[in-house]
Amino acid sequence: MENSRRHFLKSTCALVAGVSVYPLSSNQANAETAVGTNNTKYAMLHDETKCIGCNACVEACREVNHVPEGVTRLSIERLGPFGEYPNQFYHFTRRSCQHCEDAPCVNVCPTGAAFIDKETGIVSVNADRCVGCQYCIAACPYEVRFINPVTKAADKCDFCRETNLKQGKQPACVEACPTKALVFGNLKDPESELVALLKANPTQRSKLDLGTRPKLFRIKAKQGEIIL
């Protein structure tokens, strides 16, 4: 029954794919898209002054979340080199889902597969509802979604919502980072380490002009060496 339903929805989406990707109205939004109704709004901070580009976070994510080879939920991009030899250096920045509070991927999803978890504020994907239409991939301004070659559904970082978080752990990338460059926490908890760091440091977020209200913050690297 589920396979038949998925086939029907895929066929329907294929017919309208060339017509419109206009966002769903607010009245059509699934109830699951309410953000942070449980006094929890998870976010992440990437401290680029501590990141050494080792990719331990990438491999931990792949192992814990069973991400197939050829695709990835996160990547560390190397920028540089900067400076003159022999005093050259690199900067490293994280590329992954931004967990937007006003998420374009959620707005365009025709089946409700893309949603914002009302308990955590995490942008997630219900693979059973996904029909692979790729509207969410086209709508994401951060270009971080992909089709999982195994499940055939849209996939991306979900802060390990279905794995480590369910077990009371930190996201796999945070646990694996050897320099503690990643900090995960609740923006609604004034006593959390995350909030303390955000108050104490100038931070940046990507493409704020789009109004997506992303929840991936970064402390931008400014110096030529890693601060440990």
CA–CA distance, 123 with 138 (Å, rounded to integer) = 16
CA–CA distance, 117 with 135 (Å, rounded to integer) = 19
Q: pTM for this one?
A: 0.81
Q: pLDDT 10s per residue in the chain (228 long)?
A: 444 444 444 444 433 333 333 333 333 334 333 444 478 999 999 999 999 999 999 999 999 999 999 999 999 999 888 888 888 888 999 999 999 999 999 999 999 999 999 999 999 999 999 999 999 999 999 999 999 999 999 999 999 999 999 999 999 999 999 999 999 999 999 999 999 999 999 999 999 999 999 999 999 987 554 444
CA–CA distance, 182 with 184 (Å, rounded to integer) = 7
